[in-house]
Amino acid sequence: MKISTKGRYALRMMTDIASTGDDGFISLKEISERQNISKKYLEQIVPQLTRQGLLKTNRGNRGGYALARPAKEITVGDVLRAAEGSIAPVSCLEFEVNECPRADKCATLYVWEGLNKVISEYLDGVTVADILEHSAGASGSDYCI
């Protein structure tokens, strides 16, 4: 499994918004400038994060984006699933029910199921708040994700 640029940028965006604390709504322009990510690219990511209930939006003069839930309640897994879709290492595990016609006789399925479990448990065990806490000792606010 390889996380795409979209997934990495979505996590950087969420972490950037969380780092501003409760300063209200943050414009994409501000995030774009701080994170050195194209505003146009961020505009492609926002609908997915909003649809999954991770971001809330506000239009108008004080418009922008804010976390829909506290950073300690948003996991890396939540963000990556919103941006990437499935984070399963193989396609047969992308859905809750494995409908692969070879599943019952697949000698390697247990390997992929184990890997999927480890990936999911890890990514669902790290929150956006954890990233902020971990990076508190680092200089600057550029998250190299």
Taking the model in full, what pTM does it have?
Answer: 0.88
Instruction: Tell me the average pLDDT of the chain.
Output: 91
Calpha distance 68→56 (Å, rounded): 5
Which are the contacts of 53, defined by CB distance < 8 A and separation ≥ 6? 68, 69
Which range (18-22, 42-46, 72-76, 118-122) has the least confidence?
18-22
Calpha distance 73→54 (Å, rounded): 10
Return the pLDDT at 74.
98
How do residues 57-112 score in pLDDT, each as one tens digit?
A: 998 887 899 999 999 999 999 999 999 999 999 989 988 888 888 888 999 999 99
More confident residue, 135 or 1: 135
pLDDT for residue 142 is more than 60: no
More confident residue, 127 or 141: 127
Mean of pLDDT values over 31-46: 96
Q: Give the other-Cβ count within 10 Å of 72's Cβ.
A: 13
Task: From 49, 82, 83, select the one nearest 65 (Cα to Cα).
Answer: 49
Classify residue 59 as left (phi > 0), alpha (psi -120 to 50) or beta: beta
Percent over 90 (pLDDT), the chain: 73
Q: Report domain 5-135's class.
A: mainly alpha
Calpha distance 106→100 (Å, rounded): 9
